[in-house]
Amino acid sequence: MANTDPLPIVPIDAAESEAVWPLSIEAGWNQNLADWRFMLGAGRGFGLRNADGTWEASSLVLPLGQKLAWISMVLVTKGRRRGGVGTGLLKRCIAEVQDGGAVAGLDATEQGRPIYLPLGFRDLYTIKRWHFDNAQDVASSVVVRPFTMADLPRLALYDRPLSGMERPTLLAHLAMRRPDLAWVVDAPGGRLAGFTLGREGRMASSIGPVVADNEEIGLALLGKAASSVAGPFIIDVPETHARVRQYLEAQGAVSPRGYMRMTLGTSKGLDDPGHVFALAGPELG
């Protein structure tokens, strides 16, 4: 589509990953260079440059199927804040999503939610971000085994109806990126009953997504991932999962911030976190 924005918004190519990464470092966020390379390679980035060519603002649209796209990484340097840059980039992303006939989703901070509500976004459910250093496995009869590449074709098929997202590229990327955080549970008959993936970050390893048939399986997967590698960790958990919260608190986890999952429009299955015990993260959906 033609760019009619008053701001000089330009695309951010995947080759610019290293140049745009300092925006998330300045914000204190956990993304590393591998995250930016994936997001800009799989999605579409938009931003603003300074006169010297350095990036001073960013935004991202990550397709999650034909009917849903995730908006994230709306970042503005301190020197350009309060001038409408972030809102302009957000509106550019919304237009990109709607031009493709999709629903826009995002995870809003307490500060961001009042901006999104007047634009038509609606609340789905609350999320807590937890930080912890180490964890013990969960005492459970659930048999958790390491993920193998033979599981990959089944992963996206299992995930889609439970998460409400079509994200085979993302799941494959995470499975190959951190195999030591990738675990699965099998159900009778050979189908999957749950999985967990994760990734390393700039400051901590991120556990998620965790998707499972029920809370017992989800908790067993989370405990296996967190107890199998060294921390520190972050994990984003829908607030409805009380047993997961109790487990994390027992590990000494703290939750200094939360999010609200929101959509502009209706996307089937996205409003029900009953089988989603940890998210991929606010930047990935």
C-beta of residue 79 within 8 angstroms of C-beta of residue 52:
no
C-beta of residue 62 within 8 angstroms of C-beta of residue 104:
no
Residues of the chain with CATH 3.40.630.30: 10-101, 128-278
Question: What CATH number does domain 128-278 carry, 3.40.630.30, 3.60.90.10, 3.40.50.2300, 3.40.50.80?
Answer: 3.40.630.30
Provide the percentage of residues in the chain whose pLDDT is more than 70. Answer: 98
Of 34, 24, 90, the C-alpha closest to 55 is 24
pLDDT at 127 over 80: yes
Q: How many whole angstroms separate alpha carbon 248 and alpha carbon 254?
A: 8
CATH fold of 10-101: Aminopeptidase (3.40.630)
Tell me the pTM: 0.94
10 Å Cβ neighbour count for 40? 22
Q: What is the mean pLDDT of residues 211-234?
A: 97
What is residue 150's predicted lDDT score, i.e. its pLDDT? 94
What is residue 1's predicted lDDT score, i.e. its pLDDT? 40
| CA-atom Rg of the chain in angstroms | 19
pLDDT at 2 over 90: no
- One-letter amino acid of 252: G
Q: What is the mean pLDDT of residues 216-230?
A: 96
